[in-house]
Each structure stands twice: as structure tokens, then as C-alpha cells.
Structure 1
Amino acid sequence: MNFESLYKLFVMNDSTTFNRIYNEKFNSQSTIKFDIYINEQQSFFTYDKYIMALVSNIRNIDNRINEIFSNLPPIAIDQYMRKSLIDEIEYTNEIEGVISTRKDINDLINEIEKKINTRNRFEGIVNKYVLLTEEQLDFKDSFDIRKLYDEMLYNEIRLEDEKNLPDGKIFRKETVHIYKTGEKIIHNGIMPESKIIEYMNKALYILNDQSIDILIRVSLFHYYFGYIHPFYDGNGRINRFISSYILSKHFNEVIGFRLSMTIKENLTQYLEAFSHTNDSRNKADISTFVYEFLDLIYKSYQKTEIYALEKSQILKKYEMILEKITPIFETHKNIDAIHQLLFILIQCSIFGDFGLTKAKLCKILKKGNTKVTEFLGVLKKHNLCTEIQSGKYHYYQANLEELDKLDNQVI
């Protein structure tokens, strides 16, 4: 037996039985009531054994992933984080129908890391995700949400359609509708702006209430933000970023870069979690959404664990191959540096997307451009290095197929 929402129980029971179940749940000692009303009913959350099992499972798998990552070299972790960062930005845009290519995102990350003002429409959102694990953000009141919006999406939305920019004191002053695949209206953002501000401040209070488990808080706030819908455009991306940011501060950083991909892969579950919780038959029980959102976080962790374990095994394989083929460089006086460079490029190929630029390789190896160019030349001579051009950038990776061939040749 799994978690059963009031939305489902309404359909499964007669009205007398359902009302008894609702009253028992609403008045339970395990229930927290909030001063936010959904369909004119007071919203609440109940600590349920299935929800708490998910919380426990998430914490356990987080510990396992930390253990896996502790045994990976720094370049492998950096490359995986970079790949995950690109995934997160690509998918959070795609969910909203905004097209952004992986190549463009990767190049833009390079520009931001060099502190170059690009004037790119996605600079705001990419910059925020780049700083996800470094920047300290406070979400205390509605002004903090507006500040994040201005830094992250204002310029992009201004370029797309100025009419979608906030026109109230902080948020929107007119109504906004949420449609199902361009068809019927499935939700109206709350009105007027004074109520938006009031409810947003209350939702932020819940987000910062340390008496509630952080996983529950993040889930509750994610729902309330979507229900309030404070902006004309960009609500989903702002909401997912806040959840990613909070999760990255309390758990393994990578989970903050995997949320949107998991939501995109399970979009029906995500949207139904909102629609079922919004439904009047659910009686404003936010536990419905919390369970589904936690399940999505757990699924994200499961995929991350499987991926990390698989890639770790692949890395061990190529470490052994590297040791076997090192003699082919023995005539070169910088054999150790070339060995180190190839190991770095192997990590890029296994864990990353594009590889590393020569400038970054110079920094990692603590060698000048001339030396690194020389070392790359040696690897290219043996067809062990590939060069990928993306815009003005050139990225380098190891040629794993050639390494496999050499492995088969070495006795």
C-alpha cells in the first residue's frame, strides 16, 4: 500500500467516510496547519509514514552518493558538476518551452567564469546557476524573490515581451492563467497583488521554519510558489531554482543540478501533483504535493547514484589501461606530465560533455601554454586526444576508443 491523497480517497469513499477521514487527518497531532487558504480551505500538512520513509530514503542515498564522490578525483567531480549544470539549465528552460542549446550554455558558462559581459539573453539564469554553490542567497520576504527575478530573468523576459514584466509594486497586478497544453485553464494565480505579497511572505516563513524538516519545507514552498504564481512569466524557472539552491545547501551539491531533468522526465507526475493538490476534493492537503515532490527528488538521487557508480567503474578501467600504455611515452622527457594530462582528459570524456580548454589545462597542470600545447601534440600524434571547437573555444578530451585499441594491443 502506498500514500493515498485525499484527492484519491474522495473518489474511493462515500461522503460520510471521506469526511471522517478528512477530519481525522486535519485534526491529527501529526498535522501542521498554515494560514494560507486553497479553495477557501485552510491548507495543512500531515506527517505521514510514507512521506517520512521517503525523507529517510533521501538522506540515506545522499550519504551513499557522498561516499562515491569522496573516492572520485576532483576533475571527475568538476566535469560531472559542469555537465549537470548544463543539463539543469537546458531542462528548466525546456519545461517552459524556452530553447537553449547545450553548446550555447557551455560557451556562456565560460564567458561568465571569465567575468565577460556577454549581453546574452540567458546570462542571468546561467549566472545564477553557476553561482549556485558559491553565492549566499536569503529568501526572507517578497523583495528577495523580486530581487532574484530581476537578476535571473528580467532582461530575458524584457527582450521577449515587455508586457510580461512585473507591473505591480513587487509582482504582477493583473490576473494570470495557467493552461493545460494550450487548452483549458487549470489554475488562476491568486489576486490581488496585496494577497500575492501576503501569501508569498507566509510561504517564505514556512521555508525558513527550522522546526520543519528541510525536505518538507522545500516541498511545501515549491507548491505554494506555484499556487501563488507571482509573475506573468518565469514562475517555473524561479521556483525550480529556489528548490535547487536550498537542496544544494543541505545535501550533495549535485542534487541541485539534477532537479529540472528529473521533473522533465516525469512531467506528468509533476503537473498532476499540482493539479491534484489544487483540486477542491483534496481539501487543501499539501501532503499530496509533498509526497510526489519528494518522490521526484528520490528518483533524481537514484539516477545520480547509478550514473556515478557506472562512471566510477569505467574510470577504474581506463586508469588500468593508462598504466599499461604509459611506456609509449617513455622517450619523452615529460612523461609524468603527459600521463597526468591524459588522465585529466580521460575524466573529461567519462564524466563531462565538452572537455577542458587549453587555458584550464594550463591552470590545472601549472604549465605554460607552450608546454601544454606540446603535451597535447604528443597525445594527438598517438590519436589519444580529440579537439572540439565550439564558437571561439577549443575543448580537449581523451579518445577512449583509441585507448581501447591500445589496450588490446598491449600484452
Structure 2
Amino acid sequence: MYRYQGTFYLVKSYFRLLNGDFPRIETIIDIRKIYDQLYRDFILEDNRPDGAFFRSRQLEVDFGGQGVKMTLPADEDDLENKIDHWLDFISDKNIPYLIKGSAAFGTFMDLSPFYQGNGLTARYIFSAYLTRKLDPLTGLNFSRQLLKNHESYSNSLQEFIDRRNFAEGSFWSDRYYL
């Protein structure tokens, strides 16, 4: 039952994009609304956010299931502060939109504000962004291609979130967090 309902809300959310109904992301509340819209009645109680908006406990993440585990801190106030900086970053009109969208996607995954569903939430937000900026085919195909090329996606994500990387994406996102 949970999987069927979850798929229904996910398809409904992507269908809205085709109709030009793009989510506004200006506050922490907007991010939580998107998460709730995607996962309504789908996430089991143990995995639901237990803080005001996000997770409040430590989270161990294994990006790509390759045994490279990261422990993300449990400080919800710090997480909210970083999400506020992320919101400033995605609102900066001086950054080229593809660089900004890609860096925002990777940074959201790095922050992982929820216990479960960070990848789907980030993919949906980036798909909505690409649909608005480019076209529906590109935006809607993005999430599918990531899943289809999961190993390459996981490797790229691990490289992006590596603080020793100093690549272009790290530069753009880190200037908002330092």
C-alpha cells in the first residue's frame, strides 16, 4: 500500500511540472512541503523528520552503496543554517543556471536534511528547475537518467562532496557555507 501511494504522489508531482506548476523554493518550509508532497503516506514513521523541519539525529549515509560511509551531524540548528545558505545560493542570479543547479543538487545531497528521501527530493527539485529553465523533456528525463546510470551518478556525487576536491562545483557552493 505504501509503495503504491508513494508512486501516485510522485507521478502527480512530476505531472504538475508538465503543466507549468513549478514549486517555489524560498524558505525551509517550501523544502519541507516538497518533501511531504513527494512522500505523503510513503515514509514509515521511524524515517520521518523528527525535528522542526528536518532530521535531528545523526545520519550515516552510504552514497551509492559502495561502503564509503559518511556520518552527518545531528545539529538541526546547524542544518537549518546550511539550508538557509543553500537557499541564498539558489537565489543568486549572478551564477550561470546550469552551474548553480548542478552545485545545488550536489550540495543538497551532501546536506541530506532528511533520514530518507534526500536523493528523490533533490532529483525532483533539480528536475523542476531544468523543466522551468530548459524544457520538460530535459527536466523529466534527468531523474530517470540518474537512476539508469546509478554507478556513474554515485561516483560523481562522491567526488563532488569530497571537501578536498576543490572543483568548480565545490567553489560555487562552498562560498556560501564558509
Deviation at 1:177, TM superposition (A): 1.2
* 8 Å CA contact 1:276, 1:288 repeated in 2: no
* 2:6 corresponds to: 121
* 1:52 corresponds to: none
Deviation at 1:286, TM superposition (A): 4.7
Matched, 1:222 2:108: no
Instruction: Give, in whole Å, the separation in 1 of the partners of 2:161 and 2:105.
Output: 13
- CA gap of 1:179–1:211, structure 2 versus 1, over 3 A, is same
Deviation at 1:207, TM superposition (A): 1.0
Deviation track 1:303-334 (CA, whole Å, cap 9, x = no partner) reads: xxxxxxxxxxxxxxxxxxxxxxxxxxxxxxxx
Pick from 161, 169, 173 the counterpart of residue 287 of structure 1. 169
* 8 Å CA contact 1:186, 1:275 repeated in 2: no
* 2:175 corresponds to: none
* 2:56 corresponds to: 173
- CA gap of 1:264–1:182, structure 2 versus 1, over 3 A, is closer
* 8 Å CA contact 1:175, 1:189 repeated in 2: yes
Matched, 1:184 2:56: no
Deviation at 1:288, TM superposition (A): 6.5
Deviation at 1:204, TM superposition (A): 1.6
Instruction: Give, in whole Å, the separation in 1 of the partners of 2:171 and 2:68.
Output: 20
Partner secondary structure for residue 178 of structure 1? strand
Instruction: Give, in whole Å, the separation in 1 of the partners of 2:10 and 2:148.
Output: 21
* 8 Å CA contact 2:63, 2:154 repeated in 1: no
* 2:142 corresponds to: 259
* 8 Å CA contact 1:171, 1:193 repeated in 2: yes
* 8 Å CA contact 1:141, 1:204 repeated in 2: yes
- CA gap of 1:273–1:183, structure 2 versus 1, over 3 A, is closer
* 8 Å CA contact 2:103, 2:170 repeated in 1: no
Matched, 1:207 2:90: yes
Q: Which protein is bigger by CA-based radius of gyration?
A: 1
Matched, 1:244 2:127: yes
Percent of aligned positions with the same letter in both sequences? Answer: 26
* 8 Å CA contact 2:106, 2:161 repeated in 1: no
Matched, 1:147 2:33: yes
Deviation track 1:151-180 (CA, whole Å, cap 9, x = no partner) reads: 1113111xxx21000100100000111125
Corresponding residue pairs, total: 169
* 2:42 corresponds to: 156
* 8 Å CA contact 1:207, 1:218 repeated in 2: yes
Partner secondary structure for residue 41 of structure 2? helix
Counterpart mapping for 1:73-152 below 5 A: 120-133=5-18, 134-152=20-38
* 8 Å CA contact 1:273, 1:289 repeated in 2: no
Structure 1 or 2: more strand by fraction: 1
Deviation at 1:138, TM superposition (A): 0.8
Instruction: Give, in whole Å, the separation in 2 of the partners of 1:216 and 1:278.
Output: 15
* TM-score normalised to structure 2 length: 0.84
- CA gap of 1:145–1:171, structure 2 versus 1, over 3 A, is same
Instruction: Give, in whole Å, the separation in 1 of the partners of 2:63 and 2:135.
Output: 34
* 8 Å CA contact 1:167, 1:173 repeated in 2: yes
* 8 Å CA contact 2:99, 2:169 repeated in 1: no
Deviation at 1:190, TM superposition (A): 4.0
Give the aligned CA root-mean-square deviation in angstroms: 2.3
- CA gap of 1:288–1:200, structure 2 versus 1, over 3 A, is closer
Instruction: Give, in whole Å, the separation in 1 of the partners of 2:149 and 2:170.
Output: 16
Deviation at 1:267, TM superposition (A): 2.0
Structure 2, unmatched stretches of 5+, are: 173-178
* 8 Å CA contact 2:79, 2:113 repeated in 1: yes
Q: Amino acid of the residue matched to residue 47 of structure 2?
A: N
Q: Amino acid of the residue matched to residue 128 of structure 1?
A: S
Deviation at 1:185, TM superposition (A): 4.4
* 8 Å CA contact 2:107, 2:161 repeated in 1: no
